[in-house]
A and B are shown apart, each in its own frame.
Chain A
Amino acid sequence: MNDSTRRRYLAGLGTAVTAGLAGCNSLLGGDNGESPSQQVEVPALTQLRGSGSIVEGRPQPEGTSINDLPNLSGELSLYLGGGEGGIYREFVEILEQAYPEFTVLPTTNTSSTLAQQIVEEVDSGASRADVFWSIDASSLAYVTQNDAVELLPEEVTAPVPDSFTGPDNAWVGIAGRARAIPYNTNELSDDDIPNKVAEFPETPALQGTMGWAPTYGAFKSFITAMRLLRGEDATRQWLVDMREAGTERYGNEYVVSQQVADGALSAGFANHYYALRVQNQRPDAPIDLAFTEGDAGALVNVAGATRIQGTGNADLADLFIRHLLTAEAQEFFATRSFAYPMIDGVRPVGDLPLVSELNPPEIDLSELSDLESTLDLMEEAGVSG
């Protein structure tokens, strides 16, 4: 692509992503000896954003713009954890279109599979990928604990709060996923839902009316958090109590959220974005979200990225991860998959509380990779994952 086409695209971009960019000059390093490009074909904000009522009337995203960063160029090998794989892949393709000299060789699988594959590969000196982009912190923690990552430079992790980065910047959060309680607004009101999950088993309105998806990774992380906060006995008992109260089992949390919207369930345990997907698909669906406070039910997990040990491609890997933390990328993830943005300048969609307004428990996300005891405990409670 020649410069004149790039400029034309830039003109099309208009003023979309300019508002918050003035203050970001510190990040304009020109690492590759190139001037920070004013030449990149970044799609207009209206194209980046999702559509539908849920994204109407959003403020301009602020933060580092793609235009502030050096051009991506070269070939990057990417291990991409499943989950919102489609959305993430789409963004990668946008970057590939913007930078004609940039190619990504991706492979997708579940995040935990990729994490274990990376550790085995690094052990044998045969790693294939430069960047690991996982949908949850436990897989990032696993590769970190097994010395399969390289620490990220400060300029990569700077825009993200410390609670969403790994130890010594081993990884950086890209998109937040909050635990939440989707509930049917015809059946319940926000006040009916206690602000601690520990009280759920004794809450009459929630007896035999809830659903969960114990085989789903995010649920296991939620139980891991509870185990870390309240101990094994209390957690096992809680599982038994909820099971005996008639909580119904489903295959995944999207289905749980759909069932809540249908009224088949009054409430459920799910990541926050599933209810938003239901809302986006069916604007009149009687579904809303409640959040508990300071307990496992308020856990905020993250999708994140890290650089794999021994990659000969560190500069490109870092620059790629920085692109995932630009205003455009964060707006894209927030409005397409309804994730919690990791940078201050981008708001979560709809009337979601800000991350700073949520009250997550004091848990180091890296501890979530200890799933063994969680699975044992869930089995003992008859809620096998």
Chain B
Amino acid sequence: MSAPDWPAPITDRLDGSGDLGGRTVTAIAVLLAFLLVVPLAWLFIQTATLGDQIPALLTSATTLAVLGRSVALVAAVTGASILVGVPLAVLTVQSNLPFKRFWTVAAALPLAVPSYLGAFAFISAFGPRGAFVDLLAPLGIEKIPSVFGFWGAVFVLTIYTYPYVFLTTRASLLSLDASLVEAARTLNAGRFEAFRRVTLPQIAPGIAAGALLVALYALADFGTPAFMRVQVFTQFIYSRFDAFQQGYAALLSLQLLAVTAVVLFLESRIGADDDGAYESRGNRGKFGFDLGVFRYPAMLLPAGIGLLAVGLPIGIFTAWLFRPGTGLASDGMAFEWAFAANSVQVAVLAAVASLVVALPIGLRGANADSRLSRLAERAPYVGYATPGIVLALALLWFTLDVAPVVYRNYGIPLLVFAYVVRFSSQAVGSIRTSVLQVDSRLHEAARTLGRSRLQTFRAVTLPLIVPGVATGAALVFLTTMKELPATLMLRPLGFETLVTHIWSVRETGAYGQAAIPALVLVVISALSMGVILHQEQRT
């Protein structure tokens, strides 16, 4: 679903194989990638206003301490996501776990819940005066460990982001050549040794691709750490921005993007290491891990996580529906279905626009014969790692300086552009992956039979990469539905979406009113998860 080379089927690729005219596509890809990062250049312009304060601010003790904490959070969340996501992927692909299909859905579903709503639900359940704290009190359990703090944030972020690792690992496992594992077993390797020595190296790029999305999400997220009261870099940026220090906020954002660059580099080291290219296409994935009697207790793992990550928030939101108010003597704002329609509208536009951008970049990235196309393929990830508020600000500065008319009169296109900058990397990754799995000899054959490049693309490549395209679109749709800070700032006047409505009522503490929009949001997002899982079956 995302980035790098997991097992590429065939080694002898054509120049520009499987797609349209190589040079033209590269040029388009580079141009689009440039468009995606150019607004961020305004961060440098804004930072420059600080002048000679920069070195002192960069190295202040607080900055470094917060930076350290952010890096620790990212490392912990990424590590934990791998620990949760990989075993679940193995269980649901390779083992004889009962009801595998059901558990696959359950394990992927947390991605449909915005992590800040999850955090919110957790605090409502286990925080002070929480629903569960009240329930546990009669049992003599008066105090449970505080949900707040570093580990609370790691926990919440992990259960809502591990599905990225889960899904990419599944995709790798599904396309894994099981005959290699069988060969290893024949050579007397134990089950776990075979996994470690054969399977793991093959699926490592897949794991890394998911881990990359997890790491960048954790780095850029503001809401969850804020709810869990952990002071991370994004909160630091917000706080300075709140104090009208835009220059300082921009400087801090650049530091955050430097961390992003390091993460991208680390991931590309793993991704580049693809000696595991295989030759056979038969016998994919279905290799069995016999759990024996443990197959029933093994169900507890996906069940527990699904209950915690999805069941709990839905339960809490539902409970809010029946809870008395917030102390404000007011009915507050009513929910309107138009909010949901608005959310869906911009999310669909963002998904379509992202595909337009991601197709050329993904096609070229898969045949990364030049440093330029490799760079173009990495560039969209910068937007993904940029906190929403920073991206919104950069776009505000950018459009006001370059095209104020667009800012004033074309709110929706601007908003959609913001989403594309922020999320198109997910589509790039999944398209690139599916292109890698297209056998270039098919393309070659079509060309030999006299088809033009465009015809070949339409007749051969496109049908084969449809699952990757659909998955990419669904991921962009899903994340756009959940996006808050850029939506708040860049939406046209009078334009209310599900998340902006949740934000407004949350500000007043009117949790009960957040319940319906939150449930609607989760249901719509869950439907787009369905698209992703459905595509999986086709690969």
Contacts and interface: CB of A to CB of B under 8 A. Distances in A.
A16 interface: no
A77 B493 contact: yes
Interface string B294-330: 0000000000000000000000000000001111111
Nearest to A104: B494
B241 A113 contact: yes
Interface string A221-245: 0000000000000000000000000
A124 interface: yes
Contacts of B405: 126
A371 B509 contact: no
Contact of A277 (B62, B326, B407, B505): B326
A83 B507 contact: yes
B328 A337 contact: yes
Contact of B328 (A87, A142, A259, A264): A87
A378 to B, nearest CB: 9
B330 A50 contact: yes
Task: Identify which of A108, A128, A372 gathers the most chain B CB atoms within 10 Å of its CB.
Answer: A108
Contacts of A335: 329
B327 A85 contact: no
Given A54-B329, A371-B244, A264 B507 contact: no
Contacts of B245: 371-372, 375
Nearest to B393: A116
Nearest to B493: A105
A267 to B, nearest CB: 16
B250 to A, nearest CB: 12
Interface stretch (A1-9, A20-28, A248-256): A248-256
B504 A128 contact: no
A379 interface: yes
B324 A281 contact: yes
B505 A86 contact: yes
Contacts of A84: 328, 507-508
A215 interface: yes
Interface stretch (B357-365, B395-403, B515-523): B395-403
Contact of B404 (A52, A124, A379): A124
Interface in A333-363: 335-338
A112 B389 CA distance: 13
A262 interface: yes
A309 B332 CA distance: 30
A125 interface: yes
A371 B405 CA distance: 32
Contact of A112 (B227, B241, B400): B241
Main SS of chain A's interface residues? helix
B176 to A, nearest CB: 45
B326 to A, nearest CB: 7
Given A85-B508, A262-B129, A120 B400 contact: yes
A115 B243 contact: no
Contacts of B508: 83-87
A125 B403 CA distance: 11
A108 B504 contact: yes
A115 B244 contact: yes
B242 interface: yes
Contact of A336 (B329, B396, B397): B329
A142 B246 CA distance: 13
Interface string B483-495: 0000011011111
A225 to B, nearest CB: 15
B408 A264 contact: no
Nearest to B228: A251
B22 interface: no
A374 B329 contact: no
Instruction: Please indicate which of the listed interface residues A105, A109, A115, A338 has the most CB atoms of chain B within 10 Å of its own CB.
Output: A109
A369 interface: yes
A109 B129 CA distance: 28
A176 to B, nearest CB: 17
Interface in B240-293: 240-246
Given A109-B489, A116-B244, A121-B400, A89 B333 contact: yes
B239 A112 contact: no
B510 interface: yes
Contact of B333 (A90, A105, A117, A258): A90
B500 interface: yes
Interface in A96-120: 105-110, 112-113, 115-117, 120
Nearest to A373: B243
A355 B330 CA distance: 23
A57 B196 CA distance: 76
B129 to A, nearest CB: 6
B331 interface: yes
Contacts of B342: none
A277 B325 CA distance: 10
Given A109-B489, A254-B509, A280 B129 contact: no
A268 interface: no
Interface residues of A, number: 65
Interface string A150-189: 0000000000000000000000000000000000000000
A217 interface: yes
A384 B493 CA distance: 34
Contacts of A86: 328, 330, 332-333, 504-505, 507-508, 510, 513
A254 B397 CA distance: 35
Given A86-B505, A117-B489, A251 B244 contact: no
Interface string B394-423: 001100110011011000000000000000
A51 interface: yes
B501 to A, nearest CB: 10
Contacts of B235: 215
B125 to A, nearest CB: 15
Contacts of A83: 507-508
B329 A379 contact: no
B229 A51 contact: no
Contacts of B407: 121, 124, 126
Interface string B218-232: 000000001101010
B79 interface: no
Interface string A75-95: 001100011111101100000
A129 B411 CA distance: 13
A51 B489 CA distance: 34
Interface in B2-35: none
Contacts of A77: 493
Contacts of B530: none
B507 A85 contact: yes
B327 A277 contact: yes
Contacts of A280: 327-329
B128 interface: yes
Contact of B400 (A126, A220, A276, A371): A126
Contacts of A217: 242
Contacts of B128: 255, 258-259, 262, 264
B494 A52 contact: no
A278 interface: yes
Contacts of B510: 86
Contacts of A106: 493-494
Nearest to B240: A375
A129 B400 CA distance: 15
Nearest to B66: A384
Given A124-B407, A375-B245, 6 more contacts: A54-B329, A55-B329, A84-B508, A86-B504, A106-B494, A281-B325
26 contacts: A50-B330, A82-B504, A82-B507, A84-B507, A84-B508, A85-B504, A90-B330, A90-B333, A109-B488, A112-B242, A112-B244, A113-B389, A113-B488, A116-B246, A120-B400, A124-B407, A125-B404, A129-B493, A251-B229, A255-B128, A277-B326, A277-B327, A278-B327, A281-B324, A371-B243, A374-B243
Interface of B: 62, 128-129, 226-227, 229, 231, 235, 239-246, 324-333, 389, 396-397, 400-401, 404-405, 407-408, 488-489, 491-495, 500, 503-505, 507-510, 513
List the 9 closest A-B pairs by CB distance, nearest first: A50-B329, A277-B327, A371-B243, A126-B404, A281-B327, A105-B494, A86-B508, A124-B400, A105-B493
